[in-house]
Each structure stands twice: as structure tokens, then as C-alpha cells.
């Protein structure tokens, strides 16, 4: 209930064992009516902490300014007069409060201490308030685009080879621009540059993969010219009465597309009925827009009823596969045009076990509710990024594809005029609409324009010794196993030496031979060992992190994004300095690169008595894990039969849970060992 936040605790508190409640409250709601709920909580004498987000905008209805808003200093004094016991203000920039006088009961903290402050306030009897002062990210981004705020120079980049994909940066930042991505070496994390708000809180993740980059001069992104003639499509729908449901993500322009399509209908002389269901999310949450066009006036509700839409236009795959939205489709009427781009949810960002649903299953679900022979699926976000350098044209590309599919009862001229009337990035949107049409009418031209450029780093050939190790490992296999081993043998040679890589090759061969003898036709077990034995053997100690920060392929990717003259700094929190009490990362500029080279040359010391880093607990555990896994492999092979094969694959794939650095990694090792023990018992029981 808006304005009643925390009031339920007044009645609940006497009847529960819990002694304290944390209640979230926005500054817009607080100034509107939520202050009365706080006043009631003070009068009732309950133990509650109001967690007040002070972001200076009414987010739930579109970012309007707050009427009658108190400044933070005035607010702290007002809360003191109301009877609040203690106040803590957290902020991203404590320097802004220099010389500012807060209430005597208020303390100022950096935002990194937000959780600690919340726990501290929970120990105090009565009403307490935690004010978090940080401007709304969506409004801040809008101000920067309009030139009202300066654009920060620094960008954040993640070296995916150093990244462990542990999700800690996502947990620390709660940022949807911190994206999980699948790579050759497993799940990693990358910063989605086009949507990054330059908040920098992801840097707090306990990981040495983060780089701070000041981009160099870069050539203006040139959109490829569309030189093919686009024919007018055959209309597959009637303009007598037509309906569409669109679903997407808040902040990406779903409502804008609905407005432009409605305007195109008006230009073509149609009657327009529309409804935008944005919920309480201005950015990041699900958005649904319905639109109905007709030649004659209609006495109908704007919201699309079940089975009523002709076009099912999905800008977000998860939303398009939702049962709630599919109810509006009909198998004999509806054509789906859906972007297949995998846009992760907040849960996927922070939880490494949360995976994006399988694409085929989602498309089957959509096909079952629509006309599969007419449906069109395209990776609109990837097309937008390759054609325009960012994701902002995703929806307009999908709109163009829907038009060329013959699913829009309006003219191209009307749509183009509506884009001009909208007034935002006009030329870019017109080009995106044309390229979206080309997805249907000229797919070869789209493929040629979006083909990724060849890497500037030549592919390294295997040495004679590496060829011999690959041959030893794969035992004649020419499929996926060979590909995995060919990629990993050179990495292990670079990690340590050929002798170290030989240990890997010999164990992979043992598994491959045993699997072919006892479960002919299967290769899953050998492939699991090829992946996960490598993961454990190539652990990321100081020497390996240095090597991976020098990796030519990763450096080429960075300079392709930010220009060859980009200034790069490394954000490191060395375990040795951490043990001496350093509680923050060090930002080390380009001058530190020679130190990485020197450190990598010292890799021969790894694991010896002279290794200055080898005595740390995490390094001892990493070495132990290699031997533990080898013992698990032998155990699994000893019991390998067709009946135990699936359990053995599950057991030997367990190292995937071992992610992160330092304490994060040690916690995941405990989880690995616990699961391994349970699976070994299950393997013995099946055998």
C-alpha cells in the first residue's frame, strides 16, 4: 500500500518472534504520504528501519520531480524531530557532503558500507532510518545524453580470460549491464558497454579481471549503407481491424514503438486504440504494449483479450515465451516476430546456477500458440550492435522485419513519418527500420553487413610438441574432444611447461580409452574431463593472472572497442597486500605492464619452496584439487558401466562450481567437495 509502508509491522510485531523489520521506501512516496506511516511507527514504539532511497525522482510514474522535497540535511533534522532514534546516510560521493551539517543523530558513510549500516541500525530499539543518496540511474543517463551532466571519461572492461564467472561483481553492483556470457572456457562476465551507466560499483567485485579504460580517439561508427531495393511486402493482415501485442524490457523503447506505430495508423487514416502496461518499472522490468487499428470506430477495450492479436511482436524472448502473453495469440490467426537475443534477468546476473532457458524450448512454446510456418525469429540485439554499434536500435529493427513480413497494416511512408515526428535519433531509426525490412527481403545483404571482422591477431599454430600431446590425448578422436584438447594443450604449456601439459594429456587419454571400451559410442565423459581437468590445472594464481592480462587476443578485443590509444589501468587486490591489511583494490596504470611480464617469467617458482605466493591457503587448496580430481577420475573409471555413465559424467563435471578468487573460491571448493562426496556415494550405489 503506497503511503502505508511499515504500518503492517505495527500490528504484526507483538505476535512474532522477529524483533525488527527493514522497510524499503522511495523518496517520492515518502514525501507524498509515506512520512505518515513513519510517524505512526514512532508513535507505536516498534523496532523498524526505514531504508529510504533518495534518488530525486518519482520512478514509478516516469521520473517526475518530487513535489515538496526536503534536502537530505533538512530531512535528517525533520526525522529527528519526528522521534527517529538514529540515522545513517550512505552516498556514492561523500565529498559532496563536505561542510554540510546533518542532524546530530545522523552519520555519513560511503555506499560500500550500506549493508553494514543496515545491520548496525537493526540493533537499535525504536525507529531508525537509512538514507541512501544516489540519483536515479535512468534519469542520470538521460541527463548525460542531453548534455546536462558530464559524461565520465572512464569505462570498465572485464578481461574474460581472467574472469571466473563467479557473479560477485553482479552481487556487489546489482547491475543489469554486468552480463553473463558463455565462452570457450565456460561462463564468464562482460560489461555491456552500450547500457553501462558508469556507476563503477562492479569494481567492488573480488576479482582481478577489471580494467579501467579511458578510450582513445576512435573513428565515428559508420552504418553500412543499404544498397538493395526493398520491395513492398504482400500484406498478410487486414486493415479493417488489426491488433498487436508487444512485449519487452523497460527502458528499451517498447512504449516508443507503440506510439510510433499508433501515429503511423493515424497518418494512414486509421482509428487507434492503445494501452501500455509498464507496471512499476521505468527501466529493467517487463513492459507490455497493446495496439489496435481499424477502419471504423470500435467499442472495444484497449487491452488485447485472449486469442485476439494478429501480430505477436516480441522484443524480449523471455517475455514472448510467457504464458500470460501467449494467451493473446491464436494458432490460426497470430504471426510471431520475435527477437531471440538472450537478455539475462537480474537473477542470472548474480546466480551462476541460473541459466537462460534453452532457445529451442522457448521457440517451440511460441510456435505452439501461433502460426509457425509464418513466424520470424531474429537476433535483433546482435544485429543492432553490429550495424549501429549499440543495442538501442533493437526494437526498430524488429519493427522493420514485422513490416516486411506483411504484418503491419500501415504504409512504410507513414512509419517513416512517425519516426521523424518522434524526433529521437531520426536517421539512425530510419536506417534501422530499413535494415529490419532487409532481414526479410535481402538476408544476404544483412549477413554481409553484420559479418564480424577477422581478428587482428593471427591464429597460433600448434608446435610439434603440442601436436604430439594432442595426439596422445585424443587417441584418434576427430570430434569435439580433439577440438577441446587442441585449445587447451597450448594453454597448459604456456601456464607452466610441456611436462605439465603431458600430465593432462595422459589422464584425458585414460578416460577416452576406458569410455570407448566400456560405453562404446559415448564421448561425454572424456569431454567433461578435458574441460574440467584443464580448469583445475590452469588455476589463476598471480603468475597466470599476469599472463592472461598480457594475452594478445584480449588486448586486441579491448583496443577494437576503445581505440588503439586507449589508456588502460588494472584494478588489483593482491592477496599478499590483503593479508597485510589493504582493504581496497589498487589501480595500476600502463606502467605496470612490465611487472606482469616479469611476474610471468617467474612461473617456474610455482609450487616450489621459493614460491612467494604458494603458502596462501587458496594456493594450497588449488594444488590439492588437481590431485583430488585425478583420484575422482580413477574412482569413476573403476566403476564405469553403461548404468553408471551418466552419474560419472555428473561427478567429473562438478569442478564447474569452483569459481572466484580467494574467499569466494574457498567457499565454492567446500560446496564442490560436499557434492562430490554425495555423488561418489551415488556412483557406488548404482555400480
How far, in whole angstroms, is CA 388 from its chain's centroid? Answer: 21
CB 27 within 8 A of CB 53: yes
Distance CA 277, CA 510 (A): 59
Q: How many CB atoms lie within 10 A of CB 49?
A: 26
354-358, 420-424, 435-439: the lowest-pLDDT one: 354-358
CB 22 within 8 A of CB 103: no
Fold for the domain defined by 241-450: Pyruvate-ferredoxin Oxidoreductase; domain 3 (3.40.920)
Instruction: Report the pLDDT value the prediction gives residue 77, as an integer from 0 to 100.
Output: 97
Instruction: Report the pLDDT value the prediction gives residue 16, as an integer from 0 to 100.
Output: 94
Q: Which residue matches cell numbers 541500525? A: 121
Of the candidates 357, 347, 344, 352, the one whose C-alpha atom is nearest the C-alpha of residue 163 is 352
The pLDDT confidence band at residue 62, using thresholds 50, 70 and 90, is low
Domains 7-135 and 241-450 share a fold: no
CATH of domain 7-135: 3.40.50.970
280 has pLDDT over 90: no
88 beta partners: 107, 130
540 or 344: whose pLDDT is higher?
540
CB 94 within 8 A of CB 110: yes
221 has pLDDT over 80: no
Q: Which residue matches cell numbers 505477436? A: 312
Instruction: Report the pLDDT value the prediction gives residue 136, as an integer from 0 to 100.
Output: 78
Tens-place pLDDT, residues 594-641: 999 999 999 999 999 999 999 999 999 999 999 999 999 999 999 999
% residues pLDDT > 90 (the chain): 76
Tens-place pLDDT, residues 359-404: 999 999 999 999 999 999 999 999 999 999 888 899 999 999 999 9
Query: DSSP letters along 235-273, please?
Result: P-S-SSEEEEEEEEETTSSHHHHHHHHHHHHHHTT-EEE
When pLDDT is averaged across residues 308-312 and rounded to a whole number, the result is 97
Distance CA 320, CA 64 (A): 30
195 or 519: whose pLDDT is higher?
519
Instruction: Report the pLDDT value the prediction gives residue 218, as an integer from 0 to 100.
Output: 67
Q: How many CB atoms lie within 10 A of CB 67?
A: 9
Report domain extents, the chain.
Answer: 7-135, 241-450, 464-539+617-686, 543-605
Amino acid at each position: 500500500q503506497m503511503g502505508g509502508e511499515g504500518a503492517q509491522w505495527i500490528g504484526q510485531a507483538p505476535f512474532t518472534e522477529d524483533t525488527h523489520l527493514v522497510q524499503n521506501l522511495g523518496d517520492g512516496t515518502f514525501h507524498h504520504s509515506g512520512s505518515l506511516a513513519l510517524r505512526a511507527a514512532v508513535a507505536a514504539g516498534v523496532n523498524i528501519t526505514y531504508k529510504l532511497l533518495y534518488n530525486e525522482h518519482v520512478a514509478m510514474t516516469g521520473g517526475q520531480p518530487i513535489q515538496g522535497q526536503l534536502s537530505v540535511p533538512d530531512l535528517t533534522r525533520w526525522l529527528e524531530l519526528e522521534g527517529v532514534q538514529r540515522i545513517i546516510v550512505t552516498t556514492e560521493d561523500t565529498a559532496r557532503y563536505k561542510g554540510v551539517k546533518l542532524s546530530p543523530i545522523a552519520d555519513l558513510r560511503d555506499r560500500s558500507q550500506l549493508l553494514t549500516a543496515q545491520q548496525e541500525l537493526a540493533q537499535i530499539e525504536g525507529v531508525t532510518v537509512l538514507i541512501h543518496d544516489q540519483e536515479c540511474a535512468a534519469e542520470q543517463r538521460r541527463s548525460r545524453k542531453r548534455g546536462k551532466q558530464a559524461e565520465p571519461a572512464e569505462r570498465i572492461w572485464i578481461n574474460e580470460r581472467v574472469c571466473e564467472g563467479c557473479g560477485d561483481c553482479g552481487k556487489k553492483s546489482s547491475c543489469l549491464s554486468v552480463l553473463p556470457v558463455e565462452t570457450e572456457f565456460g561462463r564468464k562476465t562482460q560489461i555491456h558497454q552500450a547500457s553501462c551507466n558508469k556507476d563503477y560499483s562492479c569494481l567492488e567485485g573480488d576479482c582481478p579481471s577489471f580494467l579501467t579504460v579511458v578510450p582513445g580517439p576512435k573513428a565515428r561508427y559508420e552504418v553500412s549503407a543499404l544498397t538493395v531495393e526493398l520491395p513492398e511486402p504482400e500484406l498478410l493482415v487486414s486493415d479493417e481491424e488489426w491488433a498487436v501485442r508487444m512485449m519487452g524490457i523497460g527502458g528499451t523503447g517498447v512504449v516508443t514503438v507503440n506510439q510510433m506505430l499508433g501515429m503511423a495508423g493515424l497518418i494512414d487514416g486509421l482509428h487507434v486504440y492503445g494501452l501500455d502496461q509498464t507496471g512499476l518499472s521505468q527501466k529493467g522490468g517487463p513492459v507490455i504494449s497493446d495496439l489496435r487499428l481499424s477502419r471504423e470506430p470500435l467499442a472495444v477495450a484497449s487491452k488485447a483479450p485472449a486469442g485476439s492479436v494478429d501480430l505477436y511482436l516480441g522484443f524480449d524472448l523471455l517475455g514472448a515465451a510467457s504464458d500470460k502473453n501467449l494467451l493473446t495469440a491464436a494458432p490460426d490467426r497470430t504471426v510471431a516476430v520475435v527477437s531471440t537475443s538472450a537478455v539475462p534477468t537480474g537473477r542470472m546476473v548474480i546466480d551462476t546456477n541460473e541459466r537462460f532457458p534453452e532457445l529451442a524450448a522457448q521457440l517451440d512454446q511460441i510456435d505452439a500458440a501461433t502460426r509457425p510456418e509464418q513466424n520470424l525469429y531474429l537476433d535483433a540485439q546482435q544485429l543492432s550492435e553490429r550495424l549501429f554499434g549499440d543495442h538501442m536500435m533493437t526494437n526498430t529493427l524488429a519493427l522493420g522485419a514485422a513490416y516486411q513480413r506483411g504484418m503491419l497494416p500501415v504504409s512504410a511512408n507513414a512509419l517513416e513519418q512517425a519516426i521523424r515526428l518522434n524526433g529521437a535519433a531520426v536517421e539512425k531509426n530510419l536506417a534501422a527500420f530499413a535494415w529490419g525490412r532487409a532481414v526479410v527481403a535481402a538476408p544476404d545483404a544483412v549477413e554481409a553487413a553484420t559479418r564480424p571482422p577477422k581478428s587482428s591477431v593471427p591464429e597460433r599454430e600448434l608446435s610439434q610438441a603440442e601436436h604430439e600431446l594432442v595426439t596422445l590425448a585424443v587417441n584418434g578422436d576427430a570430434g569435439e574432444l580433439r577440438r577441446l584438447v587442441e585449445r587447451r594443450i597450448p594453454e597448459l604449456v604456456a601456464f607452466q611447461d610441456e611436462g605439465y601439459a603431458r600430465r593432462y594429456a595422459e589422464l584425458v587419454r585414460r578416460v577416452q580409452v576406458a569410455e570407448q571400451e566400456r560405453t562404446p559410442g559415448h564421448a561425454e565423459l572424456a569431454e567433461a574431463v578435458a574441460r574440467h581437468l584443464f580448469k583445475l590445472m590452469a588455476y589463476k594464481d598471480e603468475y597466470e593472472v599476469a599472463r592472461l592480462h598480457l594475452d594478445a587476443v584480449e588486448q586486441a578485443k579491448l583496443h577494437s572497442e576503445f581505440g588503439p590509444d586507449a589508456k588502460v589501468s588494472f584494478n588489483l587486490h593482491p592477496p599478499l597486500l590483503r593479508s597485510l591489511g589493504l582493504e581496497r583494490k589498487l589501480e595500476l596504470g600502463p606502467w605496470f605492464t612490465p611487472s606482469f611480464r616479469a611476474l610471468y617469467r617467474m612461473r617456474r617458482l610455482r609450487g616450489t619452496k621459493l614460491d612467494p605466493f604458494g603458502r596462501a591457503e587458496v594456493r594450497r587448496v588449488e594444488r590439492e584439487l588437481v590431485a583430488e580430481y585425478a583420484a575422482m577420475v580413477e574412482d569413476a573409471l573403476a566403476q564405469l558401466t553403461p548404468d553408471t555413465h551418466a552419474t560419472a559424467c555428473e561427478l567429473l563435471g562438478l569442478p564447474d562450481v569452483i569459481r572466484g578468487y580467494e574467499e569466494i573460491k574457498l567457499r565454492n571448493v567446500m560446496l564442490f567437495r560436499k557434492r562430490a562426496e554425495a555423488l561418489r556415494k551415488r556412483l557406488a550405489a548404482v555400480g
